[in-house]
Amino acid sequence: MSEKPEKFIDENGLRLDGRKIDQIRDIKIEIGILNRADGSCYLEFGNNKIMAAVYGPREVHPRHQQKATKAIVRYKYNMASFSVEDRKRPGPDRRSIEVSKVSREAFEKEIFTELYPKSAIDIFIEILQADAGTRTAAINAASLALADAGIPMRGLISSCAVGKVDDTLILDLNKDEDNYGQADMPIAMSTDGKITLLQMDGHLTQEEFKKGLEMAQQGCREIYELQRKALIDHYNNTQKEIIQDAPVESVKDISTESATEEDPVISDDVPDNGNTVNDDEIKEDIPDEKEEVILDEDEDNPAIVSDETEDDTLE
Ligand code: CDP
């Protein structure tokens, strides 16, 4: 374990890692990288490396956990043994059970669980590398994995912590600031500004609490913008890939902007989605003049009535 630094903030107001007091660490996001999960996200938040996978809505096992009127949300936070300086004993411990519980509660109200009665939405978090703020980083990743899985939500959840070192409030603590600081207050916030998680270690005055909350909310807003951009970029790229994979002919047809009679937009190469009508079908729909004449002459003769009239007769 590293030694406690003498000072956390230098004479220029910068922290030991060069950040300003209200600056979050760099964030890198990759969405949809696990093939077997319904939704997934790999996220780096400073030196934290997190993998989030979402499965569901799916059947609930064990069955007694299922709710008749809504889906249950399960959240499993796990720290890999190699993710921390001193090897962590594998498996759940009191800390990971606590983190899982508060993180699940941060999402429960934001997901439209009532749309999926008797089902489960499972969120799995693997901390591959930890450097303080893993629960907040994991919530950011989980939020994107849920969106990637297509789970209907009121909005995204964004999360970061505020803390205190050298009697100064700082945003998004790193490992040393977390270990040796005076306070650590992680929060999670919905897109419309509702606080869905708030915890606190250490001591803050009322004034510090209010100011700290504002700083953390600002941090969440910045993270939200990054999450939103990552989702838009991901789906833009996915769209491009789909078009690249499509047969050349149909790509050409879809992209045709002005169609002429010789070069119609709807060609035989475009898969029929049931809405397209070709010339032969149109001809069939036009009543046959000859049949019309016979019908006029002998309406009661069932041998020459159309299918439609026959159905009416049966009714
Ligand atoms: O990670 P987070 O800040 O959400 O939770 P924490 O309980 O405040 O832990 C702070 C940091 O302590 C973690 O991010 C890890 O870097 C470290 N830690 C550790 O080294 N060994 C553990 N068993 C648990 C945490």
CATH assignment of the domain containing 80: 3.30.230.70
Predicted local confidence at residue 310, as pLDDT: 41
Specify the 3-state DSSP secondary structure of 144: helix
Predicted local confidence at residue 207, as pLDDT: 98
| Assigned domain for 273 exists | no
Q: How far is the CA of 83 from the centre of ligand 1 (A)?
A: 10
Q: Which residue lies with its CA nearest to atom 2 of ligand 1? A: 133
Q: What is the distance between the alpha carbons of residues 212 and 171, in angstroms, rounded to a whole number?
A: 8
| Assigned domain for 260 exists | no
Q: How far is the CA of 2 from the centre of ligand 1 (A)?
A: 14
Beta strands at 183-190 and 157-165: parallel, antiparallel or unpaired:
antiparallel
Predicted local confidence at residue 231, as pLDDT: 97
| Assigned domain for 121 exists | yes
DSSP per position, 178-205? HHHSSEEEEEEEETTS-EEEE--EE---
Pocket test for ligand 1, best of 97, 178, 200 (most atoms within 8 A of CB): 178
Predicted local confidence at residue 245, as pLDDT: 80
Predicted local confidence at residue 250, as pLDDT: 56
Predicted local confidence at residue 249, as pLDDT: 64
Q: What is the distance between the alpha carbons of residues 190 and 109, in angstroms, rounded to a whole number?
A: 10
Positions in the chain whose pLDDT score sits under 50: 254-279, 281-315
Domain that holds residue 49: 27-234
How many structural domains compose the chain? 1
Q: How far is the CA of 163 from the centre of ligand 1 (A)?
A: 14
| Assigned domain for 288 exists | no
Nearest-atom number in ligand 1 for the CA of 134 is 1
Task: Render pLDDT for 171-201 as a digit per residue (tens, 0 to 9).
Answer: 999 999 999 999 999 999 999 999 999 999 9
Nearest-atom number in ligand 1 for the CA of 95 is 7
| Assigned domain for 111 exists | yes
Q: Which residue lies with its CA nearest to atom 3 of ligand 1? A: 133
> Sign (positive/negative) of CA torsion 83, 39, 137, 161?
negative
Ligand 1 in contact with 183 (CB < 6 A)? no
Predicted local confidence at residue 3, as pLDDT: 86
Q: How many C-beta neighbours within 10 Å does residue 245 have?
A: 8
Q: How far is the CA of 132 from the centre of ligand 1 (A)?
A: 5
| Assigned domain for 74 exists | yes
Nearest-atom number in ligand 1 for the CA of 130 is 16
| Assigned domain for 249 exists | no
| Assigned domain for 315 exists | no
Q: How far is the CA of 267 from the centre of ligand 1 (A)?
A: 60
